[in-house]
Amino acid sequence: MSTPKVAFITGGNRGIGFETAKQLGALGILPVIGSRNAKQGEEALQTLNELGITAQMIVFDAGNQEHHQYAYDYFKKKFGKIDILVNNAGMSLEGDPVSASKVKDATQHLSEQVLRDTMELNFFSVVLLTTKLLPLIRLSEAGRIVNVSSKLGSLTTKSDFTSPLAKVNTFAYDTSKTALNSFTVHLAYELKDTGIKVNSSNPGWVSTALGGAAATTTPEDGAKTSVFLATLPDDGPTGKFMQLAEELPW
């Protein structure tokens, strides 16, 4: 009997992360969700089990490097590998896109703390976690790393002042995703001669706590790109910024 593929989804207890876990589980992949809150994680796990999906959960705060080590030890002991890493956990401290579009000169008045906290979770923690777990991903026959980004991190899009996204003034969040995209490109190049594929995912404007109530995409649809990139065939792309099969500009 073959061992099922194992996926680690950070921030997997709700929103896009939960839907990613659900859709991967429906494909026969074993999702392990990382949740900062144990109770919420257990509730998410119960919901998956009620849907007939075998899953696991660990208490995991992406911003805590001790939790990075715990995750490494957990996967090494239980599975000896990681097949799929979905760096889904993230935050915005500048409000939803609609609210942020109404704030004048937000970039000029952004606090240093908001900028640092946003970069810490959305960029630095992803780099550190991925680096920590990479030895286990290398043990997979076809490792996949998905960095959940945003079209707000596209400099091409943001520098087009006719684009509706240009007026969304979430400088800290956007910059963290631009940096995340840079990590995707660099890591993909370093791993280009291996079976590991590294890509950035744009879920769209998703109706979550981060996206706000006016968002036009459901978490279910928002997760589809992460699932697409997590299950790429051997000849699939790497080092790309994608929304489903569409390549987006950096």
Query: pLDDT-derived band of residue 105, with 50, 70 and 90 as boundaries?
Result: confident
Listed range (11-25, 70-84, 169-183, 210-224) with the worst mean pLDDT: 210-224
Does residue 192 surpass a pLDDT of 90?
yes
* One-letter amino acid of 96: D
pLDDT confidence band for 212 (50 / 70 / 90)? low
| pLDDT higher than threshold 90 for residue 98 | no
Residues 6+ apart with CB under 8 A from 142: 83, 195, 196, 197, 234
Considering Cα of 24, then 29, then 33, then 34, what sign does the dihedral take?
A: negative
Of 65-69, 84-88, 146-150, 167-171, the one with minimum mean pLDDT is 167-171
Note the pLDDT of residue 104.
78
**H-state helical runs in the chain:** 15-26, 38-50, 65-78, 97-101, 112-119, 125-137, 155-158, 171-190, 219-222, 224-230
Mean pLDDT of 77-92: 97
Angle at 22 between CA 36 and CA 225, to 5 degrees: 95
Contact 34, 60 (CB under 8 A): yes
Domains plus CATH for the chain? 6-91+122-153+173-247 (3.40.50.720)
pLDDT at position 214 over 60 = no
Among 142, 28, 18, which Cα is nearest to 81's?
142
Whether 13 contacts 38, CB under 8 Å: no
Residue 168, token pair as written in the block: 């969304």
**CB of 173 closer than 8 Å to CB of 119:** no
Helices (H), 83-200: 97-101, 112-119, 125-137, 155-158, 171-190
